[in-house]
Amino acid sequence: MPDTSPRHIRLTSHAGGYGALPIRWGAPTAAERGPIVGTTSKPSHRNVIGTHSGSYSVYRALAVAAGALSREHKPDLTNTSPTDFIGPYPQWTDPARIVSLDPWGARVAEVFAGEIAAGYDIRPTIAVTKAHVILPEVIDALQKGRLKADGTVLTPGGAAMVTKAAIEPVWWLPGVAQRFGCSEADLRRVLFEETGGMYPELVTRSDLEVFLPPIGGLTVYIFGNPQDLANPQVELTARVHDECNGSDVFGSDICTCRPYLTHAIEECIAGAQRGGVGLVAYSRKEGRALGEVTKFLVYNARKRQAGGDTADQYFARTECVAGVQDMRFQELMPDVLHWLGVKKIHRLVSMSNMKYDAITQSGIEVGERVNIPDELIPADAKVEMEAKVAAGYFTPGHVPDTDELKQVKGRGLE
């Protein structure tokens, strides 16, 4: 049992530790950049605000409180190294390109071996592995002849071969502030205040520029050779997808999220089989980053309003409940593409203007935009689709006017 008896609380809200290694964000090599040290067992070694594992850091605290986890536990990283090498790419050392993840995060055991041997608790913030993904929609595409098994990208049983990477958020605050057009001081103050004062170092330790925020991260699924992502000569099919548990996992038909995701996966498999490479980046930004409680409240407000659920009121109802229409702020999203070395997306499977603008403004070229085929739009999701198209989302088809939007109706609650 770990010692969880009362003891002095060691505040880290003021400098005074020794042995903390400096971080020089964007430095040309890992050694010059320095490791991210978010350990809680040796406060003097810490060089960041917050700690590892994103939102799961709170569960780790529970495990310590429950006596299930020793405060002193250090991960044994034997055999955990990445299955595929990614980078380093020139974008890794450009502080304007990557501000919300640690590009060296998958390779800490290798590039910071000396510091780890010297006793620093340095943890990977990225893990890269391989998997077979089996989806009923892909099996259906195989049975209907839209996809063909080749035994390399797709097996006859419908399993797609992927390399996947899980990425925790690592924010370099000066760069994050710049993306959002605010001062670093204002960003730090608001992050402190709006989390109920969770991280005093945000306001007391301006010398600490890196924050490990307690939020969800993202996962990338790569179809084909991961190194090809950085080669603009190789056709890249890509989707950046924001989490929607109701549709992605449970098949709720009020939105197009899962059909869009599985359509993108089908396109990625077909692209990889043509000699290209496919990429799905999946961000934990549930319900436009408003969360699922807000999302379900909005569903009720939409379906109970006078006149029922109509496309012309789609964005208004979200704004009534949440105060904004969307909190995903795609400004940080392209970072993962730069981590993978992407310079050109030949086929972007998305209708979102916000995603398209963020990607192209970050310096990545986009060729064709691929939207979801009409036959894949679920019964109750027409309201969302038509509202988005009218609001300026990409479509190769007809853009409805105000009167037409009023006619697009969803189901009632009963």
Tokens encoding 305: 């309003």
Residue type, 187: L
Find the shortest distance in angstroms from Cβ 282 to Zn ion.
13
Pick one of 219, 247, 330, 362: the residue that binds Zn ion (CB under 5 A): 247
- The span of 6-14, 176-184, 255-263, 394-402 binding Zn ion (CB under 5 A) equals 255-263
Tokens encoding 234: 């190789």
> For residues 259 and 400, which CB has a smaller minimum distance to Zn ion in the complex?
259
> For residues 142 and 290, which CB has a smaller minimum distance to Zn ion in the complex?
290
> Any contact of residue 162 with Zn ion (CB under 5 A)?
no
Between strands 171-172 and 210-212, the pairing is antiparallel
> For residues 169 and 246, which CB has a smaller minimum distance to Zn ion in the complex?
246
> Any contact of residue 311 with Zn ion (CB under 5 A)?
no
In 10 A of CB 7, how many CB atoms? 7
> For residues 47 and 318, which CB has a smaller minimum distance to Zn ion in the complex?
318
Closest C-alpha among 126, 99, 334, 138 to residue 240: 334
- Judge contact between 99 and 179, C-beta under 8 A: yes
> For residues 234 and 351, which CB has a smaller minimum distance to Zn ion in the complex?
351
Find the shortest distance in angstroms from Cβ 384 to Zn ion.
8
Find the shortest distance in angstroms from Cβ 301 to Zn ion.
16
Q: Is residue 94 annotated as part of the catalytic site, yes or no?
A: no
Find the shortest distance in angstroms from Cβ 139 to Zn ion.
22
- Judge contact between 133 and 221, C-beta under 8 A: yes
**φ/ψ bin of 393: left (φ > 0), alpha (ψ from -120 to 50), beta (otherwise):** beta
Find the shortest distance in angstroms from Cβ 243 to Zn ion.
9
> Any contact of residue 318 with Zn ion (CB under 5 A)?
no
> For residues 36 and 244, which CB has a smaller minimum distance to Zn ion in the complex?
244
> For residues 125 and 247, which CB has a smaller minimum distance to Zn ion in the complex?
247
- The span of 40-48, 116-124, 232-240, 250-258 binding Zn ion (CB under 5 A) equals 250-258
Query: Residues 382, 386, 389, 391: is their CA dihedral positive or negative?
Result: negative
**Mapping DSSP to helix (H, G, I), strand (E, B) and coil, where does residue 222 land?**
strand
Angle, helices 292-304 vs 314-322, to 10°: value is 130
Pick one of 173, 176, 244, 277: the residue that binds Zn ion (CB under 5 A): 244
**φ/ψ bin of 35: left (φ > 0), alpha (ψ from -120 to 50), beta (otherwise):** beta
- The span of 51-59, 102-110, 237-245, 324-332 binding Zn ion (CB under 5 A) equals 237-245
- The span of 59-67, 156-164, 199-207, 243-251 binding Zn ion (CB under 5 A) equals 243-251
- The span of 64-72, 177-185, 242-250, 278-286 binding Zn ion (CB under 5 A) equals 242-250
> Any contact of residue 238 with Zn ion (CB under 5 A)?
no
- Judge contact between 99 and 333, C-beta under 8 A: no
Question: Counting runs of H as helices and runs of E as strands, what totals does the chain give?
Answer: 17, 10
Q: Is residue 328 annotated as part of the catalytic site, yes or no?
A: yes
Measured in degrees and rounded to the nearest 5, phi and psi for residue 53 equal 80, 10
Q: Rounded to whole angstroms, how far apart are CA atoms 59 and 72?
A: 16
Closest C-alpha among 104, 86, 108, 92 to residue 39: 108
- The span of 128-136, 233-241, 256-264, 374-382 binding Zn ion (CB under 5 A) equals 256-264
Pick one of 167, 255, 281, 290: the residue that binds Zn ion (CB under 5 A): 255
According to DSSP, residue 82 is labeled -
Q: Rounded to whole angstroms, how far apart are CA atoms 195 and 190?
A: 8
Q: Rounded to whole angstroms, how far apart are CA atoms 295 and 386?
A: 19
> Any contact of residue 257 with Zn ion (CB under 5 A)?
yes
> For residues 212 and 257, which CB has a smaller minimum distance to Zn ion in the complex?
257
Of 33, 107, 328, 347, which one is the catalytic site residue? 328
Q: How many residues bind Zn ion (CB under 5 A)?
A: 4
Of 326, 374, 401, 411, which one is the catalytic site residue? 326
- Contacting residues toward Zn ion, per CB under 5 A: 244, 247, 255, 257
Positions marked catalytic: 326, 328
